[in-house]
Amino acid sequence: MQTTALIMAGGRGERFWPRSRKNLPKQFLSLTDDGKTMIQLTVERLLPIVEACDIYIATNRDYLPLITEQLPDIPKENIICEPVGRNTAPCIALAAAHISKKYEDAIMMVLPSDHLVKYSSMYQATLKDACEVAAKGDNLVTIGIAPDHPETGYGYIRFVNKFTEDTGRAFKVERFVEKPDLEKAKEYVASDDYLWNSGMFLWKISTILQKFERFMPDVYEGVMEIKNAIGTSMQDEVLEKIFPKFPSISIDYGIMEKAENIFTIPGTFGWDDVGSWLALERIKKSNEYGNIVDGNIVTINTSNCIIQGTDKLIATVGLEDLVIVDTEDATLICDKDHTADIKKVLENLKICNRNEYL
Amino acid sequence: MQTTALIMAGGRGERFWPRSRKNLPKQFLSLTDDGKTMIQLTVERLLPIVEACDIYIATNRDYLPLITEQLPDIPKENIICEPVGRNTAPCIALAAAHISKKYEDAIMMVLPSDHLVKYSSMYQATLKDACEVAAKGDNLVTIGIAPDHPETGYGYIRFVNKFTEDTGRAFKVERFVEKPDLEKAKEYVASDDYLWNSGMFLWKISTILQKFERFMPDVYEGVMEIKNAIGTSMQDEVLEKIFPKFPSISIDYGIMEKAENIFTIPGTFGWDDVGSWLALERIKKSNEYGNIVDGNIVTINTSNCIIQGTDKLIATVGLEDLVIVDTEDATLICDKDHTADIKKVLENLKICNRNEYL
């Protein structure tokens, strides 16, 4: 069966402020040493298993210029622009409708645009395995990640930790669990029955559309109407009319928590959701003082700092465990233990109507 | 007797980097909330006791444009430009020669250009008292400051802590002591026999020239030669030829440690030498979180920081006890306990030939 992929690139991640902005979210930033942006890396690691002409990008239409600039090899007609953000369920339904216009049926991988993978070959092998499972019946497949710490920022998957010849490397999912508190998270990590929900899904177009028809019939009918208009002069008008009416619901909540025949394949490919500036400690090389330094930097008695500058000189003296990020119009200086409070800076800026910094 | 003042403004203080630079030293910066520069404040507090036409400024000629811009009321001919820096002794000798061209004799106050005074009226009263003492015999007068902590960055004056009707508020100086180590400094502060050497001196022109003739005869002869050329077409040429040959020696070492009849008047006018960024804690208002903040700043969970910005946004999260100074081309982030190491940044920049930042 034909394999296609949907890369979801509509996010507006605030945790990489001030480098990330409303008009330049994380997926369009380069955070690794190779200079490639997150979405470029996402496409790159997919190309050995999916052709460029079968890769679809769903995004907010504001980001269309960024996508065509960063991904010149993706056909323009594969870029699906949402008039407004409506979380992942409507986004996936819309993309499924688009893809079903081209292929009667096909495997659809659904992948975030702003995560990193260390071992591409293992990633590709895992997705290939997942495709096989997704091709059978009305299976829904999700890639789970074996947790190595009690993370409270992710959803979890409770799975049946039992090998059967039937499904091979795939395991039956018992249920999806929303972001737990620390105590619960510790329990999950200790129990061996939980994986992190990485937000990567695989299914047939026909399967997921059936699920929408059953669990989110309004969205299903809406996207069918949109599908009929695709390629006609009415396309934009119909999309504009229908899409904003969809509820803002995640695929986890809208479909996965309700459907049956859900399988998970644990991914062991060095997954990283690059959730905050601290992730740079995992993905970039530090120098002999434990500093991760880019730009025009002079450090004196400075250790274990993340310093991301530009051409402007940054001099640090006697610092430890800070994150320093400089951009043209804003500088962030943040204690490593307080990165979760970066959003408070943005709240403050919003309240003060200082939208130029958002 | 006529009263004149020499303001010494040749210093290149590095401790306010990156705001202070080789071409914009501390005396030309505004560090107080009133927006006036250090040298402007120095002149302002002097004007009630010395007329503008009797205030002389000694400086490096590179700073001439800054002085004429910041002090438009000081006559151009009162600005004494040293071709090279040769510490305070040659500077004072040169200025004495200049002033002696205008007045047969006069009181000469010698004052730094980059210190602050909280109580101007007490400052003026103290200098008036000092003038009276300096007018007698061949007295040399220095303004001492009662130490409130064992500072190792200043020289000390050992004086005779004994009141006599003769000299009134002036006390005999026993000796000048160079910057002590911490143990010595503690001893001095505990003993009641020591004052800080503030670097403010008063004497008659005739007295100080006599002292130069006796203790630094080469400098004396040199400035007499320069004096003869002042006002002639040869003025610059003679200055250029002679001045660079002078030894680089401080007035303390060259004259004060050798001369007799030295008196000190303790100044109780809220003196501050504004020796580092930390001085801002004494001279600027802090907000409710103990932060001293200027510029376009958003602080979250930040306390006891000194943040000096510009129009560019600086956002701080979870910080404590840091100094953050932003300028157009350089940003300093320094732990308060490490401000003495700011000079290491400058050493590093010098070694790397990055003179644009010095």
Report the distance separating Cα A350 and Cα B345, nearest Å: 36
A356 part of contact set with chain B, CB < 8 Å:
no
Q: Where are the beta strands (DSSP E) in chain A?
A: 3-8, 55-60, 79-82, 107-112, 116-117, 140-145, 156-159, 171-177, 194-204, 262-267, 271-272, 292-300, 306-317, 322-326, 330-335
Residue of A nearest to B317 (CA): A334
pLDDT band per the 50, 70, 90 thresholds, residue A168: confident
DSSP code per residue over A323-343: EEEE-SSEEEEEEGGGGGGHH
Angle CA B179–B182–B187, to nearest 5: 90
Please name the residues in contact with A113: beta carbons below 8 A apart, sequence gap of 6 or more: A7, A8, A9, A11, A27, A38, A39, A42, A57
Q: How far is A30 from chain B (nearest CA, A)?
A: 22
Supply the pLDDT for residue A327: 97
Q: How many Å apart are CA B192 and CA A209, to the nearest integer?
A: 90
Q: Is B132 helix (H, G, I), strand (E, B) or coil?
A: helix
Q: Is A317 on the interface with B (CB under 8 A)?
A: yes
∠ at Cα B112 (B110, B114), nearest 5°? 160
Tell me which residue in A317, A348, A354 faces B342 most closely, judged by beta carbons. Answer: A317
**Tokens found for residue B29:** 């910066």
Q: Does residue A86 contact residue A247 with C-beta atoms inside 8 Å? A: yes
Distances (CA, A) of A355 to A344, B315, B358: 14, 15, 35
Q: Cβ B330–A341 below 8 Å, yes or no?
A: no
Q: Any CB–CB contact under 8 A between A342 and chain B?
A: yes
Nearest chain A CA: its distance from B334 CA (Å): 4
Please tell me which residue of chain A has the smallest CA distance to B316: A333
- The number of CA neighbours under 13 Å toward the Cβ of A11 is 24
Is residue B325 within 8 angstroms of chain A, CB to CB? no
Residue closest to B60 by CA, chosen among B38, B86, B97, B78: B86
Query: Which residue matches tokens 């350089």?
Result: B330
B132 phi, psi to nearest 5 deg: -60, -40
Contact A301, A318 (CB under 8 A): yes
- If you average pLDDT over residues B28-39, what whole number do you get? 95
The mean pLDDT value for B142-154 works out to 93
Please, is B187 exposed, middle or buried when counting C-beta atoms within 10 Å of its C-beta (0-12, 13-18, 19+)?
Answer: middle
Contact A107, A55 (CB under 8 A): no
Q: Do B330 and B20 meet the contact criterion of CB atoms below 8 Å apart?
A: no
Report residue A164's pLDDT band, with 50, 70 and 90 as the boundaries. Answer: confident
Alpha-carbon distance of B26 to A191, in angstroms, equals: 63
Residue B7's nearest CA partner among B241, B17, B261, B63 is B63
Those residues whose C-beta lies under 8 Å from the C-beta of residue B288, and which sit 6 or more positions away, are: none
Please indicate whether, in this complex, the C-beta atoms of B317 and A298 are within 8 angstroms of each other: no
Q: Which two tokens stand for residue A207?
A: 């399967």
Return the half-sphere exposure (C-beta side, CA atoms, 13 A cut-off) of residue B225.
15
Tell how strand B140-145 and strand B194-204 pair up.
antiparallel
Within 123-162 of A, beta carbons closer than 8 Å to B belong to none
- Asked if A345 lies within 8 A of B312 by C-beta distance, the reply is no
CA distance B24 to B17: 10
Helix (H, G, I), strand (E, B) or coil at B330: strand
- Put simply, whether B342 touches A (Cβ < 8 Å) is yes
Chain segment A291-341, per-residue pLDDT in tens: 999 999 999 999 999 999 999 999 999 999 999 999 999 999 999 999 999
Tokens 């004149």 map to which residue? B4
Strands B322-326 and B156-159: unpaired
Predicted TM-score of the model (pTM): 0.89
pLDDT digits (tens, 9 = 90+) for B5-24: 999 999 877 889 999 999 99
d(CA B15, CA B188): 26
Task: Please answer yes or no on whether A334 and B326 come within 8 Å at the CB atom.
Answer: no
Tokens of B340: 């003495």
Contacting residues of A for B276, CB less than 8 Å apart: none
Token digits of residue B345: 């940044």
d(CA B248, CA A165): 90
**Domains, chain B, ordered by start:** 3-272 (3.90.550.10), 277-357 (no CATH)
Residue of B nearest to A332 (CA): B315
Provide, as residue numbers in chain B, all residues whose Cβ is less than 8 Å from the Cβ of A327: none
Residue A165: pLDDT above 90?
Answer: no
- Contacts (Cβ under 8 Å, ≥6 apart) of A60: A10, A12, A81, A82, A84, A85
Q: Span B22-48, mean pLDDT?
A: 95
How close is the nearest chain A Cα to the Cα of B327, in Å?
10
A window 271-310, beta carbon within 8 A of B = 298, 300-301
Residue B307, φ and ψ in degrees, nearest 5: -125, 115
The single-letter DSSP state of residue B113 is S
Rounded to whole angstroms, the maximal C-alpha distance in chain B is 64
DSSP state, residue A102: H
Contacts of A338 in chain B (CB under 8 A): 300-301, 317-318
CB contact under 8 A, A301 and B18: no
Across the interface, whether the CB atoms of A333 and B342 are under 8 A apart is answered: no
Sign of CA dihedral B6, B12, B15, B17: positive
- What proportion of chain B, given as a percentage, has pLDDT over 90? 94
| Amino acid A325: pLDDT | 98
- What pLDDT does A206 receive? 98
Q: Does A348 touch chain B (CB under 8 A)?
A: yes
Closest-CA distance of chain B to residue A289, Å: 16
Of A96, A196, A99, nearest to A156 (Cα)?
A: A196
Query: CB distance B329–A349 less than 8 Å?
Result: no
Residue B54 contacts A, CB cutoff 8 Å: no
CA atoms of B54 and B66, how far apart (whole Å): 19
Is the Cβ pair A345, B317 closer than 8 Å?
Answer: yes
Residue A256 binned pLDDT confidence (cut-offs 50, 70, 90): very high
| Per-residue pLDDT tens digits for B162-202 | 887 776 789 999 999 989 999 999 999 999 899 999 999 99
User: Taking CB atoms and an 8 Å cutoff, what residues of chain A touch B322?
Assistant: 319, 333
Q: What CA–CA distance (Å, rounded) separates A249 from B222?
A: 88
CA distance B53 to B44: 13
| Contacts with A343 from chain B: Cβ below 8 Å | none
pLDDT digits (tens, 9 = 90+) for B218-261: 999 999 999 999 999 999 999 999 999 999 999 999 999 999 99
Mutate one of B313, B352, B355 to test the A interface: name it (highest A CB count within 10 A). B313
**A269 three-state secondary structure:** coil
What is the C-alpha separation between A175 and A197, in angstroms, rounded? Answer: 11
Interface test with B, best of A14, A311, A331 (most B CBs within 10 A): A331
* B203 vs B299: CA distance, rounded Å: 50
- Kindly report the backbone phi and psi dihedral angles of residue A269, in degrees, each rounded to the nearest multiple of 5, phi listed first: -115, 25
CA distance B324 to chain A (A): 9
Interchain contact A351–B (C-beta under 8 A):
no
Q: Please, how many CA atoms are within 13 Å of residue B165, restricted to the half-sphere of its CB?
A: 0
Q: Look up residue A326 and give its amino acid.
A: D
Q: Is the pLDDT of residue B118 over 80?
A: yes
How many CB pairs (< 8 A) connect A and B? 112
State pLDDT tens for residues A173-190: 999 998 999 999 999 999
